[in-house]
Chains A and B, each alone.
Chain A
């Protein structure tokens, strides 16, 4: 199978509002594919369509070569979904959360218990086995949600903003677990608006805005293509600098109180700018996915 998942011309409209507009992308087996975008870009709408929660307005979606319209149950039994909200069952203990969830997949009790034990060990939650989930920390809850999405040994793991609201330690722990899963050959579809997360985890990704895909590619390719290798940030730019940059063949963004200069010849240019146009508040740094993201989706606030 060349592609594990195929979205062709997927459109989702809520009344007059088009949340996802004619989106196509393909996910290869064993890769981590990211969907990036600001709030309201349509990420979660796509995710909800992939597990059949939300019907497509137009287009087609196939997972494992099966149609989500016809074979939704077969698909759903082979995927694991980690939703944005921690919808763990507060009436149940940590262990019971996994065991009860396993039943939804028709796992026999013995196998469900085995699976729960294995996943609790994997997520380092064994010591909290008999606690109520409401007593867990945010990071632990997230790990439990992740453990729960693995209860059926899925071939495709769908993660909707898996580390939103977590502290740095917990985020890194989640990433390590995802690395481990990836090395075991699981395919991952992830949405996030953390660029460090996307750079770290994704083999390929799309950046979306207003329901449409803006670009698609590997993180490093996207950075090279859209912003170059290095970035110079100038605080309190002078008029002379603006005139100078205007006369050069340079890509830069003028934010008023701040200039962002993109380029490959960063080192030379940096010295030129620091020597001639500013004494302090000039920073040379590596270009990141965040630069690409902000350049493509703009800096205006959403919602």
Chain B
């Protein structure tokens, strides 16, 4: 009873997911706006502004326009944000202020199912946000189809990875302000150095290796390869890393939440 048991997880976790969907549907008009408008802002700023300075980027033995280089990275960053922020700030509010999980614990749900529902919800939200954003970016002809259809399931995997680590922090921190720390130490460095706005090759060798620890680096490589329509076996390695990262932090998230909630 007093430890995490994965065997208890049944399809009931879907009820928790459904609760979040019910709330989401009430505010969808607001939630839809960022993924719809953000890529337009970025593409305008980078496409109109920076592109002129940069021109093309040398990537995987090819010259590509800067704007098509960063477009898939923007999608990957969006996946990261959706997964991470849903399972940090939003989950924290449900945990601390609304006591939603306490109420759920008095029903046939168990802690493992509640947390699985939270993480799968964050991943689902990432998929929806990706679909909207990808739709906008596709209008500019920056994405190669049909390969890029795989970005949607990729968004789910990325959402699980970043949702899990987000929920791990939620179970660990004791005040909502403390999320600044993982954002500053983890999210922002990835956003800047995860192969997003410039190729990893531009970094010194040691930094290139270090960047491979970041889950976003792998997510960006996968999204970019799909967007360019250049599939290769090496992508499986990046996918494997993301899955492993997800599994480790899923377990750690459940453990942290168990420690936090079960007394």
Q: Which residues of A contact B (CB under 8 A)?
A: 14, 48, 51-56, 69, 72-73, 76-77, 79, 81, 83, 85, 87-92, 96, 100-101, 103-106, 148-149, 152
User: What 10 A-B pairs have minimum CB-CB distances, sorted nearest first?
Assistant: A87-B99, A81-B106, A104-B107, A55-B1, A55-B2, A91-B23, A87-B103, A77-B108, A76-B108, A73-B108
Q: Does B58 contact A (CB under 8 A)?
A: no
Known interface pairs A89-B23, A89-B103, A101-B107; 9 further A-B residue pairs with C-beta atoms within 8 A, sorted by A's residue number: A52-B105, A53-B105, A54-B263, A72-B1, A73-B108, A77-B108, A92-B22, A103-B15, A103-B18
Flag if A87 contacts B109 (CB, 8 Å): no
A53 near B98 (CB under 8 angstroms)?
Answer: no
Q: Given A87-B98, A104-B104, do A96 and B22 touch, yes or no (CB 8 Å)?
A: yes
B98 touches A100 (CB 8 A): no
Please, which residues of chain B bring their CB within 8 A of the CB of A91? 23, 26, 98
Q: A89 vs B109: C-alpha distance in the bound complex, in angstroms?
A: 16
Which chain B positions have C-beta within 8 A of A104?
12, 15, 104, 107-109
How far, in angstroms, from A70 to B139 measured CA to CA in the complex?
Answer: 56
DSSP class of A's interface residues: helix, strand, loop or mixed?
Answer: loop
Interface status of B131 (Cβ within 8 A of chain A): no
The interface residues of chain A lying within 8 Å CB-to-CB of B48 are: none
How far is the CB of B17 from the nearest CB of chain A, in Å? 11
A-B contact pairs, 26 of them (CB 8 A): A51-B105, A51-B106, A52-B1, A53-B102, A53-B105, A53-B106, A54-B263, A55-B262, A72-B110, A77-B108, A79-B106, A85-B99, A87-B100, A87-B102, A88-B103, A89-B98, A89-B100, A91-B26, A101-B103, A101-B107, A103-B15, A104-B15, A104-B104, A104-B108, A149-B106, A152-B107
CA A44 – CA B220 in complex, angstroms?
49
- Contact across chains for A69 and B1 when beta carbons are under 8 A apart: yes
A72-B10 Cα distance, complex, nearest whole Å: 14
- For the complex, is B19 an interface residue (Cβ under 8 Å from A)? yes
Write the B6-29 contact mask toward A (1 if CB under 8 angstroms, else 0).
Answer: 000000100100110011001000
List B contacts of A53 (CB < 8 A): 102, 105-106, 262-263
Residues of A contacting B98 in the complex (Cβ-Cβ under 8 angstroms): 87, 89-91
B23 in complex: contacting residue of A48, A52, A73, A92, CB < 8 Å:
A92
The distance in angstroms between the C-alpha atoms of A148 and B103, with both chains bound, is: 10
Instruction: Give the distance in Å from the alpha carbon of A101 to the alpha carbon of B102 in the complex.
Output: 12
Residue of A nearest to B10 (CB): A73
Determine which residue in B2, B102, B106, B110 has the highest number of CB atoms from chain A within 10 A of its CB, and name it. B106
**CB <8 Å contact, B108 and A103:** no
Residue of A nearest to B106 (CB): A81
Query: CB distance A14 to B263 under 8 Å?
Result: yes
Which residue of chain A has its CB nearest to the CB of B97? A90
Contact A73–B262 (Cβ < 8 Å)? no
Is there contact, CB below 8 Å, between A76 and B102?
no
| Closest-CB distance, B144 to chain A (whole angstroms) | 39
A78 nearest CB across to chain B (Å): 9
Are the CB atoms of B262 and A54 closer together than 8 Å? yes
Most-contacted residue by chain A among B1, B26, B104 (CB, 10 A): B1
Q: A77-B108, A87-B98 are in contact. Are A48 and B22 (CB under 8 A)?
A: no
Q: Which of B29-76 contact A (CB under 8 A)?
A: none
